[in-house]
Amino acid sequence: MKTTRINGENVPVIDAIKSVTTISNKITGIKYTTEEEWKNLGIDPKDIRRDVKVTVPRLDLFAKTKY
């Protein structure tokens, strides 16, 4: 299992299986397919919303601990 060091502790790294980003306008609700699409329309970046859905492998929540 891969790990990374955060605040002096080794933390396991979980690889994402898939991620999907949805870009939409906060005010009008219009969805855009690319970053360039809304930028070319001259829309203020404050009006843009990005939703990211990340799919990861299932975690074993009932794993046995070592004592």
pLDDT of 22-41, one tens digit each?
999 999 999 999 999 999 99
- Closest by CA to 20, choosing from 59, 46, 52, is 52
Rounded to two decimals, the pTM is: 0.64
What sections of the chain are H helices per DSSP? 35-40
Q: What is the pLDDT averaged over residues 46-52? A: 96
Q: In which band, very low, low, confident or very high, does the pLDDT at 12 lie, cut at 50, 70 and 90?
A: confident
The C-alpha atoms of residue 53 and residue 32 are separated, in whole angstroms, by 16
Average pLDDT of the residues of the chain: 89
The C-alpha atoms of residue 55 and residue 16 are separated, in whole angstroms, by 6
The C-alpha atoms of residue 11 and residue 52 are separated, in whole angstroms, by 23
Examine the pLDDT at 13 and tell me if it is beyond 90.
no
